[in-house]
Amino acid sequence: MPRTVAPWEIERKLLVKAEDKTNPRYGHKPEERPAEDYIKYGVINLDKPAGPTSHEVAAWVKRILKLQRVGHGGTLEA
Amino acid sequence: MTGVLPITLEEARKIVQALLLSGKEYVCLMKLHGEATEEQVKRVLKEFENTIYQRPPLRASVKRRLRTRKIYYIDFLEMEGRNMLFRVGCEAGTYIRKLCFDIGEVLGCGAHMQELRRTRAGPFVENGDIVTLHDVTYWFMEWQQQKDDKILRKFIQPMEKALALVPKIYVRDSAVDAICHGANLTAPGVLSLETGISTGSMVAVFTLKGEAVALAKAVASTEEILNMEHGVVAETERVLMPRGTYPKCWKSGET
């Protein structure tokens, strides 16, 4: 039985349906967002240390960066 | 247990759903409770590749009923006495502690999980942009002092990075604000799209600048959307961009 392809092994191609330009007056490329927005719409690829729970680690990041809300993508046990 | 734990900041928490559903990869140290040869271990590991059945452990946050999970790959790395190291790529919600126990049962000698390191969560991997809590503290202080935004990019990624594995649909500027107000994406707004979209699958709606607008559920496949001239192509589920970022072009017609 052939194994299932992992999501990160799938190669996708971009197919064009119509051509258009984007107006530079609106929005920003993600990496060019003003600092405040860059943080607000940001994700940290964190190396979780052993010991604390995923929840505790997220709370620490919240405190370090003085933010209102943070979340984490998938609990990794303590 | 250590390794990749993506932390979403403020507004980026809206993409957590996409991360929670994405596959994971781990390197696991398993301790055997008896003797087994390398050949036996390798053979048993291969039996766990593909679909497995798991009942969530006693202490679990989900209902404890038998469910299936996909193991994309499980590779033997090394073995020393009763210590065995393997790498596993699996679907979200696979319990590795349970997997180790079950491998031990099939081997006959019993086994348990000793150490676990997550090496991937969706698009986030351990080599590359991964940072420690110390890095976060240090770079954030540096940024506050120097006010150089290059420093921010050393430890924070745009939320779009988290959507790297989700198939994308790129839309016209004129379609953006309606979607930000909760409207569904219709065919005329579509400029380009990625292969592999099927009816019901999650898609990410992006601008030409590469900004995420919303997470949506496709109501047609890539091929069908390419040939559609009107009608809804994706139902908006989670809006990511604030209203008013792009001009309002609806009701008043196309720009």
Per the CB < 8 A criterion, the answer to whether B253 and B178 are in contact is: no
pLDDT tier, B61 (very low <50, low <70, confident <90, very high otherwise): confident
pLDDT in tens, A20-67: 999 999 999 999 999 999 999 999 999 999 999 999 999 999 999 999
Query: Which residues, numbered 6 to 25 in chain B, qualify as contacts with chain A under a Cβ-Cβ cut-off of 8 Å?
Result: 6-13, 15-16, 19-20, 22-25
Q: Which of A16, A20, A43 to mutate to test the interface with B (most CBs of B within 10 A)?
A: A43
CB within 8 Å: A8 and B165? yes
ipTM, two decimals, is: 0.94
Q: What is the pLDDT of residue A6?
A: 96
Contact B7/A72, CB-based, under 8 Å? yes
Distance separating alpha carbons of residues B211 and B168, to the nearest angstrom: 11
3-state SS class at A12: coil
What would the pLDDT profile of B205-255 be if each residue is shown by its tens digit? 999 999 999 999 999 999 999 999 999 999 999 999 999 999 998 765 544
pLDDT score for B75: 97
What is the C-alpha end-to-end distance of chain A, expressed in Å?
A: 35
CB contact under 8 A, A73 and B24: no
Q: What is the pLDDT of residue A76?
A: 87
pLDDT recorded at residue A1: 64
Residue A9 has pLDDT above 80, yes or no: yes
| A78 CA: distance to closest CA in chain B (Å) | 6
Helix residue ranges, H only, A1-78: 35-40, 54-64
What type of residue sits at position B39?
E
User: What confidence score (pLDDT) does residue B96 get?
Assistant: 96
Q: Is B68 on the interface with A (CB under 8 A)?
A: no
B228, B41, B204, B9: which is closest to A45 by C-alpha? B9
Distance between CA atoms of residues B55 and B202, nearest Å: 27
The DSSP annotation for B1-20 comes to: -EEEEEEEEGGGGGGHHHHH
What is the sign of the dihedral through the CA atoms of B199, B204, B207 and B208? negative
CB atoms within 10 A of CB B118: 23
Q: Would you place residue A3 in the very low, low, confident or very high pLDDT band (cuts 50, 70, 90)?
A: confident
Q: How far is the CA of B144 from the CAs of A33, B46, B140, in angstroms?
A: 17, 51, 6
Q: Is the pLDDT of residue B27 over 70?
A: yes
Cβ atoms of B126 and B119 within 8 Å: the answer is: yes
Q: Could you read off the pLDDT of B176-193 as tens digits, one per residue? A: 999 999 999 999 999 999
CB contact under 8 A, A15 and B192: yes
pLDDT > 90? residue B79: yes
Asked if the Cβ–Cβ distance from A31 to B149 is below 8 Å, we say: no
CB atoms near residue A59 (< 10 Å): 14
pLDDT of B83 strictly over 90:
yes
Burial class (CB in 10 A: 0-12, 13-18, 19+), B145: exposed
User: What pLDDT score was predicted for residue B60?
Assistant: 77
Number of H helices, E strands in chain A: 2, 3
Give the pLDDT score at B255. Answer: 47
Q: What is the pLDDT of residue B137?
A: 98
Taking Cα atoms as reference points, which of B166, B20, B26 lies closest to residue B92? B20
CB contact B141 to A (< 8 Å): no
